[in-house]
Structures are given as structure tokens and as C-alpha cells.
Amino acid sequence: MNQQDKQKAFEEEEKRISETVSKIKHRIAVFSGKGGVGKTTVSVNLAYALKMEGYSVGILDADITGPNVAKMLGVDNDIIFLNEKMIPFEKFGAKMISMASLLKNGTPLIWRGPMRSKVINQFLADVEWDELDYLIADLPPGTGDEILTIAQQMKPDFAVVVTTPQDVSILDAERSVNMAKELKIPYIGIVENMAGFICPRCGAVVELFGAGGGEKLSQQYNIPLLGSVPIDLDARILGDAGKPIVLEKPECEVSKSFKSIADLIHAQHYEAPTIKKP
């Protein structure tokens, strides 16, 4: 491909991305400074909490080298291509696309940033998302190329920064909050996950990862704490089994937290905006 052809292909892709984005009312980026704090769990359950309210939702697994959304939804099929477009999977009434569907289990993907960004571009340009109320991007930890690409191309209007209550996670979450500010994402909210473990035997709450970190961060940066999600054994068991807890156990504390977070995000866009732009 010569330089002119490359430029033309680039411009065409940009155009397709703009068309995709223009058909999606709201776009949410879920990220964190630290790994394993629950981004994928938050992305998936937030998606279904919104779906339960009657909104059309898609989940874009933007964690290219460690894609977990497919696993958490029990999807292990290959992606279907139709007329040069990828057809997103439909699971429990929401759409989803993940690099996991292009890889065999256990295959490592050792790609530099530009390659990972290219896949994200394709997930926006060449996936038949159609009209959606919400598209949620589940990002890898840190402040790497994926978040930059999502910010530039998907143009999220809401950044959800996930953290656990402990100091080391809060420290990393600060970086994520500052990154969301620098990327000029209009709204930023914090989700404190793994905030207290509910003992399945006696119901007592054990503060496994400390307490109050999310609230402290919220005050320090004047950014709302959207909610605190406790640790519940079922959240992990159901996640591993490909069943979002909000759908399976809608009345448990974890699900109630996710629903309340979804309500806050939705209210921000439609009813009573309570969150000030940073």
C-alpha cells in the first residue's frame, strides 16, 4: 500500500468510526490505575443494570491483551463477519465484542501499543453496533495506549474510575482521575469496589481492603463517588460462570450497588444532573 492509499484507508476508517459514535447516545470508559480491582466486573454489571432499566447496551472489551468480558459472559464462539463487518455477540440482551473471540484460550498476545489501538479502532469502525443508548468500554489497567485510543475515537462522555478502598489502589486511581481530566472526558465518577466482605455464614462485614478510600478520593478531587460495591463470593463465582450477578441475584447488596450506580449515571444524562463537570 503506498502512502496515498494508506491515507485514504485511514480517512475511511475515521469516517466509519464517526458514523458508529454518532449512533451511540452515551459512551462510558471504565478504567483503573491498578489491575484486578474489578473493572470487568463493573463494566459487565453496569451494562446489565442499564439493560434492566430498558436501555440498549453494548460492551466493547478494550482490554486487547487480557480480554475477560467474553469469559464473564460465557461467550466462547468465534466472531461472525458479514459484508466486511463484525457482528457483535448478543448475550442476555446486550451486545459485546472481545478480542478473546479471535484468540484461542491461553494464546498470549504480545503486541505493542499501536497494534492494540488498531484493534480498538476496528471494534469501533467495523462492528455492527447500530443504535445504542450506552456503549461501555472495559479497559486494561493503567494509562496506556488503549485509554488514549478510546478517549480519542470513542469520545466517552463518562469516565468510571474503579478502585479498591486500600491506599495503594487509591494512589493509582489518582493517576486515572487525572488522566480522565487531561483527556477532557466530561464526567468522571469513582466506583469503590471490594468495599467490605460480607461473610456468607453470619452476614458480618469484614473490611478486607480497608474502608473510606473512595470517599477520600472523591473529596480530594471533588469528583462523585458513584457507589461502593461490597465483596460477595457469588459475584466471583457467577462471574467465572459467565453470569452477571445483577441478572442472577438482583436483590443482593452487590446488585443493588450496581443498579444505584447505573441510576446515577443515567440521571446525570437525563433527569437531574447532580455531578458537576470537573
Ligand X SMILES: Nc1ncnc2c1ncn2[C@@H]1O[C@H](COP(=O)(O)OP(=O)(O)OP(=O)(O)O)[C@@H](O)[C@H]1O
Indicate the residue among 176 and 193 with the shorter CB distance to ligand X: 193
Indicate the residue among 120 and 235 with the shorter CB distance to ligand X: 235
Find the shortest distance in angstroms from Cβ 123 to ligand X. 17
Find the shortest distance in angstroms from Cβ 61 to Mg ion. 8
- Point out which residues pair with 225 in neighbouring strands: 190
Per CB under 6 A, 146 contacts ligand X? no
Question: What nine digits make up the cell of 87?
Answer: 457482528
Find the shortest distance in angstroms from Cβ 89 to ligand X. 19
Number of residues this chain uses to bind Mg ion (CB under 5 A): 3
Tell me which of ligand X, Mg ion, none is bound by residue 214, counting a contact when its beta carbon lies within the kind-specific cut-off of 5 to 8 angstroms: none
Nearest to 38 by CA among 261, 211, 229, 203: 229
Which amino acid does the sequence have at 119?
A: V
Torsion sign across C-alpha atoms 134, 262, 170, 221: positive
DSSP code string of 220-269: HHT--EEEEEEE-HHHHHHHHTT--HHHH-TTSHHHHHHHHHHHHHHHHH
Q: Which of residues 122-141 bind ligand X (CB under 6 A)?
A: 140-141
Question: What whole-number distance in Å separates Cα of residue 175 and Cα of residue 181?
Answer: 10
Tell me which of ligand X, Mg ion, none is bound by residue 213, counting a contact when its beta carbon lies within the kind-specific cut-off of 5 to 8 angstroms: none
Window contacting ligand X (CB under 6 A); options: 9-17, 38-46, 182-190, 217-225 = 38-46
Find the shortest distance in angstroms from Cβ 277 to Mg ion. 27
- Do the beta carbons of residue 132 and residue 28 sit within 8 Å? no
Indicate the residue among 214 and 239 with the shorter CB distance to Mg ion: 239
Find the shortest distance in angstroms from Cβ 47 to ligand X. 13
- As a whole number of Å, the end-to-end CA separation of the chain is 44
Task: For residue 36, give every residue at least 6 positions away whose Cβ sits within 8 Å of its Cβ, in sequence order, or none.
Answer: 141
DSSP-derived letter for residue 150 is: I
Per CB under 6 A, 232 contacts ligand X? yes
Find the shortest distance in angstroms from Cβ 141 to ligand X. 4
- Point out which residues pair with 87 in neighbouring strands: 80
Per CB under 6 A, 49 contacts ligand X? no
Which amino acid does the sequence have at 271?
A: E
Find the shortest distance in angstroms from Cβ 138 to Mg ion. 6
Q: Which of residues 248-267 bind ligand X (CB under 6 A)?
A: 254
CA distances for 188 relative to 89, 109, 137, 214, angstroms: 28, 31, 14, 13
Q: Collapse the DSSP code of 165 into the 3-class scheme (helix H, G, I; strand E, B; otherwise coil) and give the result.
A: coil
Selected from 68, 98, 149, 176, the binder of ligand X by CB under 6 A is: 68
Tell me which of ligand X, Mg ion, none is bound by residue 184, counting a contact when its beta carbon lies within the kind-specific cut-off of 5 to 8 angstroms: none
Indicate the residue among 125 and 173 with the shorter CB distance to ligand X: 173
Per CB under 5 A, 32 contacts Mg ion? no
Question: What nine digits make up the cell of 17?
Answer: 468510526
Give me the residues that bind ligand X (CB under 6 A), please.
32, 35-41, 63, 66, 68, 140-141, 193-194, 229, 231-232, 235-236, 239, 254
Give me the residues that bind Mg ion (CB under 5 A), please.
39-40, 68
